[in-house]
Amino acid sequence: MHLARSMIIEPILLGLTLAACAGIRVFMPFFFVGAMTRYAHTPAPEMLSWAASDAGFLLLGVATLVEVMADKIPVVDHALDSMQSFIKPAAGVILPLALLQDASPMTAWVLGIAAGGPLALGIHATKAGTRVASTATTVGTANPMLSLLEDAVAVGLLVFAAIAPLLAALLVMMLLIVVVKTLRRMKRWVRPKREAVP
């Protein structure tokens, strides 16, 4: 029983870490799964086996590069955030679901819908809101630096996911605390503006 639980805990931690990463860069965690399968000989979940295929891996690599580069361009970054408002939560559901589908289908669905999707959405909303505030206060000049910081966080999450899933999960918890605090500040910032409108 203890062994069975430990075999489920690691995919849960990894799934939530990948969902958090999807909230920042939607294609990067899928590319990570493909890379781990191809170069670290880690078995890919059946639902994500396409990510390790030649065509799938190439497309994910190109998509990741395009997303990272486009996010550095003011105005384009806002358009990207708008387009990904539904894609990122969907990715947040799919990644934990795929990792746990074989071990525990019920846990996989619950984790994906109740945790993975909302986690990715919350992180995406924080990212998009911070970018809007940056554009308003710096006319977009600080946006590329914010984007580089987001890249570093996403890559850091994936590195720790590969070598220390528990530490990666702790980083996700810290990121979640930042997200909650940021969303509360944004809510307080938006409320006076709404009240000021006649």
The mean pLDDT value for 60-76 works out to 95
Neighbours of 107 (CB within 10 A): 17
- What are the residue ranges spanned by the domains of the chain? 8-185
pLDDT in tens, 85-107: 999 999 999 999 999 887 778 88
Is the CB of residue 139 less than 8 Å from the CB of residue 75? no
pLDDT in tens, 122-161: 999 999 988 988 888 888 899 999 999 999 999 999 999 9
Nearest residue to 134 via CA among 148, 120, 113: 148
24, 29, 31, 32: CA torsion to nearest 10? 130
